[in-house]
């Protein structure tokens, strides 16, 4: 027993090892593949980003250089345009001038301001103006001052003339000639904005201020201020704030419902918008100062290659052009966001161009370098673009895991089927070997007795007649037992091969019962058992195979005899129950555990107990009874419990008689 269970355990362990080891190897292999795949996906994503970065860098460069070329051409053709902010390309934020490594903003390098400055600082003119101012302020003689300023106004240069007239108007006003002053101011109001003082403020604005203080010609003043805004020139911060406050006053002075006030308010809105733009522009010189070394260094590395740097916010790109004769280099500031979105709009490029991009100076977590033309600049891809290759990866990972789980599940299922088959085969082999040993044992016992008694008779032919008779009876009884056993084995083999044929014919059940019990009379007597037979009267004939029924009854009765234990009584009843003829074989013997009730009808099955082990048996008897019952559309049932005996009931349908 112990050896067989340890053998089983060994088999199971071997089996588990045979299944689990490949499964484990598969899992490890699968995980390895998954890990490598992930690394590969990461690398692929990085390579893809690098490729895209370079591609975008190339496109950016081409676009930037084109903008630079166009703006340079325009600036060369019309230099005064540099003072305006209506550039050729909408992406251009500013075109500044780099002189001695310093970025000058448009109003700082405006030639008209420089010209005004030198004209106003011309010594002869300056002296006349100083004389006039002395008369006006030191001697408090506005009339004298007015004549001195009138002299100065005779100057041939336009700006000198205008400047002197401005002062003349002031002196006239002080000397009580307000109307004259106003008419001068109105003339000055009509001057173009390029006529400025040394700070770059148009003289017309001073005239406007004066007129506002006299509350004269508000509509005309408002008109002039609006046209100053519409010129789309770069306004210095000083001029911007002056224009802003003048416009506010103009809007108030012109009356709330007037057209002039409406226009003044619209221009005021534009000035406020311009102020915001100015904030960005004012920060650029400092940024340029900080980043300039990048331009220089990269310029050295890249040689004649164009170089672009990014401002500290990462929103604008700066690049210099070729030196302009006599002035310095032009510096182009291009709005990064506008540039990226205009690139994005380009046809044929949108497939590889991410929806949203960001430029970043310095090292970002996922920033990609844009190449040597953009030192220190990285392009940051949006999260969605990052996720894309990883999304494909996560799909692939799920696919791998699913496939692996499927393979493992199939392997385990296959293994289970195999295991079940192997176990069944093992059990069958065990049962067969048990069967062979029990049949041999069954055959050997009667054969030994037959041989022993036959030899005794041969040795003593003229012995005691009673003993002789007894020997002969035993020989007959044992050979009957032998033939029963062989019948069972032969029947079973026929059933297994599907060759067992029953030949039902109408038969009287009490008659068959009588014949069977007669055949058992001798063994019953030998065992000291009493068989109590009760047959119900008037039962019709039943269609059965006579030999089959005899054999089935014999099996049930020999079982009752075998498993009677200490009880010496066996019952046999024939009765009618509804449409059934029922034959009951009753004993008061060892009984059967209810858990075994179904199994005992299985082939070769014997209840495992020490008592049963001592009793001969093949485990075929009840399986033959059950086969017989089913072949006759009947059934066999058992009622039994350990120690209280068993009742086997064979049900045969009565309709069979017809």
Range in contact with ligand ADP (rule: CB under 6 A) among 245-253, 264-272, 373-381, 554-562: 554-562
Instruction: Give how far the C-alpha of residue 581 lies from the chain's centroid of Cα atoms, to the nearest Å.
Output: 71
Beta bridge partners of 586: 571, 647
563 lies in the site for ligand ADP, by CB under 6 A: yes
Which of residues 474 and 488 has its CB atom nearest to ligand ADP in the complex? 488
560 lies in the site for ligand ADP, by CB under 6 A: yes
622 lies in the site for ligand ADP, by CB under 6 A: yes
Binding mask 496-535 for ligand ADP (x = CB under 6 A): ----------------------------------------
Q: C-alpha distances in angstroms, 506 versus 414, 491, 657? A: 52, 22, 6
617 lies in the site for ligand ADP, by CB under 6 A: yes
Q: Are strands 569-577 and 580-587 parallel, antiparallel or unpaired?
A: antiparallel
Handedness of CA 212, 207, 242, 91 (dihedral sign): positive
559 lies in the site for ligand ADP, by CB under 6 A: yes
Among 267, 291, 551, 618, binds ligand ADP (CB under 6 A): 618
Which of residues 73 and 493 has its CB atom nearest to ligand ADP in the complex? 493
H or E, element range at 492: helix 465-497
d(CA 104, CA 90): 21
Which of residues 57 and 619 has its CB atom nearest to ligand ADP in the complex? 619
Instruction: Give how far the C-alpha of residue 155 lies from the chain's centroid of Cα atoms, to the nearest Å.
Output: 82
Which of residues 371 and 621 has its CB atom nearest to ligand ADP in the complex? 621
> Under 8 Å CB-to-CB from 484, ≥6 apart: which residues?
551, 554, 558
Among 132, 375, 619, 634, binds ligand ADP (CB under 6 A): 619
Range in contact with ligand ADP (rule: CB under 6 A) among 34-42, 263-271, 368-376, 614-622: 614-622
646 lies in the site for ligand ADP, by CB under 6 A: yes
Range in contact with ligand ADP (rule: CB under 6 A) among 251-259, 366-374, 528-536, 587-595: 587-595
Give the HSE-up count for residue 625: Cα atoms under 13 Å, Cβ half-sphere: 27
Sheet holding 92-99, edge to edge: 102-104, 92-99, 328-335, 316-324, 309-310
> Under 8 Å CB-to-CB from 78, ≥6 apart: which residues?
none
d(CA 623, CA 555): 10
The least distance separating ligand ADP from the CB of residue 444, rounded to whole angstroms, comes to 15
Q: Answer for the pair 316, 334: CB distance below 8 angstroms, yes or no.
A: yes
The least distance separating ligand ADP from the CB of residue 621, rounded to whole angstroms, comes to 3
Range in contact with ligand ADP (rule: CB under 6 A) among 100-108, 396-404, 489-497, 590-598: 590-598
The two tokens of residue 60 are 């950016």
The two tokens of residue 623 are 């399986």
491 lies in the site for ligand ADP, by CB under 6 A: no
Which of residues 358 and 635 has its CB atom nearest to ligand ADP in the complex? 635
Range in contact with ligand ADP (rule: CB under 6 A) among 89-97, 239-247, 544-552, 621-629: 621-629
Q: Pick from 574, 573, 605, 606: which is nearest to 590 by CA?
A: 606
Max intra-chain CA distance, the chain: 192
Residue 381 is classified by DSSP as P
Instruction: Give how far the C-alpha of residue 46 lies from the chain's centroid of Cα atoms, to the nearest Å.
Output: 20
The least distance separating ligand ADP from the CB of residue 8, rounded to whole angstroms, comes to 23
Which of residues 186 and 588 has its CB atom nearest to ligand ADP in the complex? 588
Among 370, 512, 581, 592, binds ligand ADP (CB under 6 A): 592
Residue 153 is classified by DSSP as T
Distance from the first to the final alpha carbon of the chain:
54
Q: Pick from 361, 358, 357: which is nearest to 310 by CA?
A: 361
Among 57, 202, 244, 621, binds ligand ADP (CB under 6 A): 621
Residue 303 is classified by DSSP as T
Range in contact with ligand ADP (rule: CB under 6 A) among 300-308, 339-347, 387-395, 619-627: 619-627
Q: Pick from 240, 253, 239: which is nearest to 211 by CA?
A: 253
Range in contact with ligand ADP (rule: CB under 6 A) among 91-99, 180-188, 416-424, 616-624: 616-624
Which of residues 554 and 652 has its CB atom nearest to ligand ADP in the complex? 554
The least distance separating ligand ADP from the CB of residue 573, rounded to whole angstroms, comes to 15
Q: Answer for the pair 477, 522: CB distance below 8 angstroms, yes or no.
A: yes
Which of residues 367 and 617 has its CB atom nearest to ligand ADP in the complex? 617
Which of residues 84 and 591 has its CB atom nearest to ligand ADP in the complex? 591
Residue 449 is classified by DSSP as H
Which of residues 371 and 619 has its CB atom nearest to ligand ADP in the complex? 619
553 lies in the site for ligand ADP, by CB under 6 A: no
Buried b (16+ CB within 10 A) or exposed e, 321-347: beebeeebbbbbbbbbebbbeebbeee
The least distance separating ligand ADP from the CB of residue 646, rounded to whole angstroms, comes to 4
61 lies in the site for ligand ADP, by CB under 6 A: no
Coil, strand or helix at 369: strand
Among 385, 485, 590, 629, binds ligand ADP (CB under 6 A): 590
Residue 540 is classified by DSSP as P
Range in contact with ligand ADP (rule: CB under 6 A) among 128-136, 155-163, 446-454, 620-628: 620-628
d(CA 328, CA 322): 9
606 lies in the site for ligand ADP, by CB under 6 A: yes
Among 246, 600, 629, 650, binds ligand ADP (CB under 6 A): 600
H or E, element range at 532: strand 530-535
The least distance separating ligand ADP from the CB of residue 592, rounded to whole angstroms, comes to 5
The least distance separating ligand ADP from the CB of residue 622, rounded to whole angstroms, comes to 3
Among 60, 135, 450, 607, binds ligand ADP (CB under 6 A): 607
The two tokens of residue 265 are 């308010």
The two tokens of residue 297 are 């260094």
Rounded to 5°, the CA angle 136-140-144 comes to 55
Handedness of CA 421, 426, 430, 433 (dihedral sign): positive
612 lies in the site for ligand ADP, by CB under 6 A: yes
Among 71, 368, 478, 587, binds ligand ADP (CB under 6 A): 587
Which of residues 204 and 623 has its CB atom nearest to ligand ADP in the complex? 623
Which residues from 128-187 bind ligand ADP, rule CB under 6 A? none
Contact residues for ligand ADP (CB under 6 A)? Answer: 555, 559-560, 563, 587, 589-592, 600, 605-607, 612, 617-623, 646
């Amino acid at each position: 027993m112990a050896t067989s269970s340890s053998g089983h355990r060994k088999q199971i362990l071997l089996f588990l090892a045979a299944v689990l080891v490949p499964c484990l190897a598969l899992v490890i292999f699968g995980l390895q593949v998954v890990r490598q795949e992930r690394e590969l996906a990461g690398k692929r994503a990085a390579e893809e980003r690098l490729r895209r970065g370079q591609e975008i860098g190339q496109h950016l460069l081409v676009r930037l250089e084109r903008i630079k070329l166009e703006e340079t051409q325009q600036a060369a053709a019309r230099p005064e345009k540099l003072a305006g902010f209506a550039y050729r390309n909408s992406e251009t934020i500013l075109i500044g001038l780099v002189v001695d490594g310093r970025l000058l903003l448009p109003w700082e390098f405006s030639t008209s301001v420089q010209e005004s400055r030198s004209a106003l600082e011309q010594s002869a003119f300056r002296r006349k103006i100083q004389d006039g101012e002395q008369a006006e302020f030191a001697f408090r003689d506005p009339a004298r001052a007015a004549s001195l300023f009138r002299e100065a106004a005779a100057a041939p240069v336009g700006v000198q003339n205008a400047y002197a007239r401005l002062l003349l108007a002031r002196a006239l006003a002080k000397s009580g000639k307000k109307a004259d002053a106003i008419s001068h101011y109105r003339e000055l109001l009509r001057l173009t904005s390029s006529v400025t003082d040394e700070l770059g403020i148009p003289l017309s604005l001073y005239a406007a201020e004066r007129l506002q203080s006299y509350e004269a010609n508000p509509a005309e003043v408002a008109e002039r201020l609006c046209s100053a805004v519409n010129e789309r020139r770069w306004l210095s911060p000083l001029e911007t704030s002056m224009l802003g406050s003048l416009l506010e006053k103009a809007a108030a002075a012109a009356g709330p419902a007037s057209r002039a006030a409406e226009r003044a308010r619209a221009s005021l809105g534009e000035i406020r918008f311009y102020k915001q733009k100015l904030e960005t522009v004012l920060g650029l010189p400092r940024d340029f100062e900080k980043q300039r070394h990048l331009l220089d260094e990269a310029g050295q590395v890249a040689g004649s290659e164009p170089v672009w740097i990014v401002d500290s916010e990462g929103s604008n790109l700066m690049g210099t052009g070729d030196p302009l004769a006599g002035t310095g280099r032009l510096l182009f500031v291009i709005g990064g966001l506008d540039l990226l979105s205009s690139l994005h709009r380009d046809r044929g490029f949108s497939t590889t161009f991410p929806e949203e991009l960001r430029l970043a100076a310095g090292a970002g977590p996922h920033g990609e370098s844009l190449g040597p033309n953009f030192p220190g600049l990285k392009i940051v891809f949006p999260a969605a673009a990052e996720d894309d290759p990883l999304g494909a990866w996560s799909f692939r990972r799920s696919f791998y895991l699913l496939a692996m789980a499927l393979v493992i599940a199939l392997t385990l299922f296959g293994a289970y089927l195999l295991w079940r088959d192997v176990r069944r085969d093992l059990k069958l082999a065990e049962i067969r070997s048990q069967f062979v040993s029990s049949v041999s044992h069954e055959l050997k016992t009667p054969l030994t007795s037959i041989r022993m008694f036959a030899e005794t008779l041969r040795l003593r032919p003229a012995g005691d007649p009673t003993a002789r008779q007894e020997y002969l009876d035993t020989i007959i009884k044992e050979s009957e037992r032998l033939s029963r056993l062989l019948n069972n084995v032969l029947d079973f083999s026929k059933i297994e091969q599907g060759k067992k044929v029953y030949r039902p014919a109408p038969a009287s059940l009490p008659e068959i019962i009588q014949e069977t019990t007669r055949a058992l009379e001798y063994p019953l007597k030998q065992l000291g058992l009493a068989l109590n037979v009760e047959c119900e009267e008037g039962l019709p004939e039943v269609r059965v195979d006579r030999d089959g029924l005899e054999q089935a009854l014999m099996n049930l009765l020999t079982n009752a005899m075998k498993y009677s234990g200490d009880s010496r009584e066996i019952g046999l009843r024939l009765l009618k129950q509804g449409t059934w003829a029922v034959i009951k074989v009753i004993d008061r013997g060892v009984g059967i555990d209810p858990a075994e009730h179904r199994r005992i009808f299985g082939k070769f099955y014997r209840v495992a107990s020490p008592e049963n082990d001592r009793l001969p048996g093949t485990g075929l008897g009840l399986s033959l009874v059950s086969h017989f019952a089913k072949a006759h559309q009947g059934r066999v049932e058992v009622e039994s419990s350990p120690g209280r005996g068993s009742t086997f009931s064979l049900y045969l349908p009565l309709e069979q008689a017809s």
